[in-house]
Amino acid sequence: MTSLDEILNKINEAKDIVILTHENPDGDAVGTSLALYLGLKNLKKNVDLIIPKYSRVFKCLPGIDEVKEEGKQDNYDLAIAVDCAEIKMLNGWSNYFENAKSRIVIDHHSSNSMFGDINFVDITSPACAQTLYVLFRSYNWKITQDIGTNFMAGIITDTGGFQYQGVSKETFEIASNLLTDGVNITKIYKNLLETRTKTGFELRRVALDRLEFLENGKVAFTYITKKDEKKLKCEEGDHEGIVNEGMHVEGVEVSIFLHESDEGFKVSLRSNEYVNVSDVCLMFGGGGHIRAAGAKMTGTPKQIKEKLLNEIRRQLKK
Ligand SMILES: [Mn+2]
C-alpha cells in the first residue's frame, strides 16, 4: 500500500480530524491548511483547523473565518500537520497532534523529521500546496474555486510568484488548471505579494535603515526588535518578507533577517545562487530549504550575526 492509500484509509476511518500547521504561518501554511480543511468538509468530516495567530493579510482567503484558536477536544481520531518540518514548530498546540489516534504529515521541507505515523513529504515540490494538490487529484476530490484559491495562495507565496527554485512545468500546469477552474490569480498575487499593512511598511523602513552589507557586499544583514514593533504598534506578520529586501540587491548572495521574539531571535536566511542556507541553519538547530531557511537563536543581533557569518563564510565563493 502506498502512503497515498494509507492516508486515504485514515481519513475514511476518522470522524473527528484536526489540521495543524507551523507557528508564524506563511501563505503556504495558511493556504494549504485551508484547502485541506475545505476539502475534508466537502467529505462531511468533523474537522477543526487550528491556527492560533496569523497575519491580517490572509483575511482574504476563503474559509479563514472558520479557523479556530484552540481545539474543541484533545483526542481527535486523526491529526494532519501541513507545511511543518518538525513537531516543535507546532509550538503550543503540538498536544493535538501527539494525542490524536493517528498522525499524518504532509510537507515539502527537506529537513522534515518525519514525525508522523504516515509521512507524505515531497522535497522537490516548491510549495506544500502543490504537494497537497497532487493528493487531491489522485483521490479525485473536487477542487472548488475556494479550494483552488487557497492552493494558489500557497503556491504563489512560497515561490515568490513563480520565481524560486523548485518551480517546474508541473507548477505552471497546476496554475493553468486552477485558472481554468475560475481562480483569480491576479487578485491573489496582488493581495498576498504586493500589498502590505501600513505598519508593515513602516517596519520595513526601520529594517532598511539598519541594513548593512558585509563580506564585500555578498551578505545583507538587518534586524527588528520587539521595541521597534511596539513603537510602531505592529501586528502579527508585519515583518513578513523583509528578508527579501536585501536579497534583491546586486551582488548579494545571502540575506539575513533577525526578528526578536519572546525566546530570542527568529533568524531567516535566503540565498540567491549557491549558499545552502538550510545547512547553515541546521548548525543552529533550525532548517528549511536550500535557498530559504530559519532557526531560533539567542544573544544580541551582533553576536548572532558573527555566529552566522562564521558558517556562511565557509560557503562563500571568493
Ligand atoms: Mn511551504
Å from CA of 158 to ligand 1 middle: 6
User: If you measure from the C-alpha of residue 216 to the centroid of ligand 1, how many angstroms do you get, rounded to a whole number?
Assistant: 31
Q: Which residue has the cell 497532487?
A: 134
Residue 165's pLDDT band, with cuts at 50, 70 and 90, is: confident
Contact indicator for 34, 63 with CB cutoff of 8 Å: yes
Outline which parts of the chain fall under CATH 3.10.310.30: 198-315
Cα of 191 to ligand 1 centre, how many Å? 18
The yes-or-no verdict on residue 310 having pLDDT over 80 is yes
Q: Are 238 and 201 in contact (CB under 8 A)?
A: no
Is pLDDT at 318 greater than 80 in this prediction?
A: no
Predicted confidence (pLDDT) per residue in 124-142, tens digit: 999 999 999 999 999 999 9
Quote the pLDDT of residue 164: 86
- Quote the percentage of the chain above a pLDDT of 70: 100
Rounded mean pLDDT of 214-233? 98
For the chain, strand residue ranges (E) read 16-21, 46-50, 78-82, 102-107, 118-121, 212-214, 219-224, 254-261, 264-271, 287-288, 292-297
pLDDT at residue 2 in the model: 83
Cα dihedral 308→310→315→317 (10° resolution): 110
241-254, pLDDT tens digit by residue? 899 999 999 999 99
Q: How far apart are CA 147 and CA 151, in angstroms?
A: 6
Reduce the DSSP state of residue 252 to 3 states and report it. coil
Residues carrying CATH 3.90.1640.10, the chain: 3-193
Give the Å distance between the CA of 166 and the centre of ligand 1: 12
Considering the four listed CATH numbers 3.30.200.20, 3.90.1140.10, 3.40.50.300, 3.10.310.30, the one that applies to the domain covering 198-315 is: 3.10.310.30
Q: Domain 3-193: what homologous superfamily?
A: inorganic pyrophosphatase (n-terminal core) (3.90.1640.10)
pLDDT tens string 45-76: 999 999 999 999 999 999 999 999 999 998 99
Residue 120: the pLDDT is 97
What is the reported pLDDT for 285?
95
pTM score, two decimals? Answer: 0.90
pLDDT at res. 129: 98
DSSP state of 4: H
Return mean pLDDT, the chain: 96
Ligand 1 mean position, distance from CA 245 (Å):
20
What confidence score (pLDDT) does residue 236 get? 87
pLDDT value at 114 more than 80: yes
Centroid of ligand 1 to alpha carbon of 157 (angstroms): 9
Q: Is the pLDDT of residue 316 over 90?
A: yes
